[in-house]
Amino acid sequence: MRRRLALPVGLLLGWLPTAHAELLLRSAAQSGFPHKFNVGGAGQPGFCIEYIRALSQIDPGLGFSGLDEMLPTLRIEQELTAGRVEVFFGMLKTPERETLFRFADSPRIYTVHHQVAVLAADVQADRIRSFDDLRLAAGGRVILATRGSGYAKFLVEMGLAVDDGATSVDQSLRKLVNGRARFLYDSESSLRRAIQANGMQAQVRILPTVFRRQDLLLAYAPGLSAERLARVIAAMQALEANGTAARLRMAYDLR
């Protein structure tokens, strides 16, 4: 596989946001989710990186900085709350997050299905058809989720015990295989990518039950002006109208 050089994201993607943008907004790249942000890594740069590039292409006066540094989810939440990050592309809305910063409900970035991964040999897990079934099967034992993720927060809100010590789905997957828990809860797209990337197709499978459908949204700082927000939303709407957003979702096998 051809490896990409770890170049600054502007050079990697063929655009320099600080060079021509009349409106430059501070954003961030999220670590632990390479299907969204894979700055400097091998393969595709990540859906959100390509989505942001498309925004700057459809509105050349709109630029985004801060994408050359990968930050964990909790740090991004802190930066949004403080206004040091103005916009972030691809975050799940939770009640806790809504108290800290804001969300644009439309257009969506893409839609995720909350699902569970189990060991391939766990045939009893096929009986799980609802969230109540999952709660009963967990029996008070921890369910694996990624630290700071909306999936971990949702499980906590639902009263389940959670082990969110891992900072990526890949780490959680290894904990699952090592017997640290019976269930790993995340999005179907993240689980599928992690299983394939780690060559664990024979060891781990994803249950078909969808526990929740949820949109990843644009999150923005409380102090972001209406004019700046409107400029970003207009570019996002244009990507929906011309089919670019749909084509990117298809390229990444997203909904």
3 state SS of 11 = helix
Tokens 């078909």 sit at which residue? 208
| Closest-CA residue to 179 (of 201, 198, 203) | 203
Burial tier of 151 (Cβ tally within 10 Å: 0-12, 13-18, 19+): buried
Q: What is the pTM of this model?
A: 0.85
Residue 93 structure tokens: 């809305």
Specify the CATH number for 9-110+215-251; select among 3.10.20.90, 1.20.1560.10, 1.10.1740.10, 3.40.190.10: 3.40.190.10
pLDDT at res. 6: 36
In this prediction, residue 13 carries a pLDDT of: 43
**Residue percentage of the chain with pLDDT more than 70:** 92
- Residue showing tokens 């390229």: 251
Query: How far apart, in whole angstroms, are the C-alpha atoms of residue 159 and residue 166?
Result: 20
Residue 17 has pLDDT above 90, yes or no: no
Q: What is the mean pLDDT of the segment spanning 133-144?
A: 95
Quote the CA–CA distance of 148 and 75 in Å, as a whole number.
9
- At 124, is the pLDDT very low, low, confident or very high (cuts 50, 70, 90)? very high
Mean pLDDT of all residues belonging to the chain: 91
The architecture (CATH level 2) of 112-213 comes to: 3-Layer(aba) Sandwich (3.40)
Taking only the tens place, the pLDDT of each residue in 196-232 is 999 999 999 999 999 999 999 999 999 999 999 999 9
* Beta strand 110-119 pairing with 162-166: unpaired
Amino acid at 107: P
Residue with tokens 């596989």: 1
pLDDT of residue 1: 34
**CB contact at 8 A, 33 and 190:** yes
Mean pLDDT of 17-24: 72
Residue-wise pLDDT for 43-77, tens only, equals 889 999 999 999 999 999 999 999 988 999 999 99
Q: What is the pLDDT of residue 19?
A: 55
Three-state DSSP at 65 gives strand
Q: Which tens digits make up the pLDDT trace of 83-117?
A: 999 999 999 999 999 999 999 999 999 999 999 99
What CA–CA distances, in Å, run from 16 to 9, 13, 23, 204?
9, 8, 13, 41
How many alpha carbons fall within 13 Å on the CB side of residue 15?
21
pLDDT (0 to 100) of residue 16: 42
Q: Where in the chain is the domain with CATH 3.40.190.10?
A: 9-110+215-251, 112-213
Question: What Rg, from alpha-carbon coordinates, does the chain have?
Answer: 19
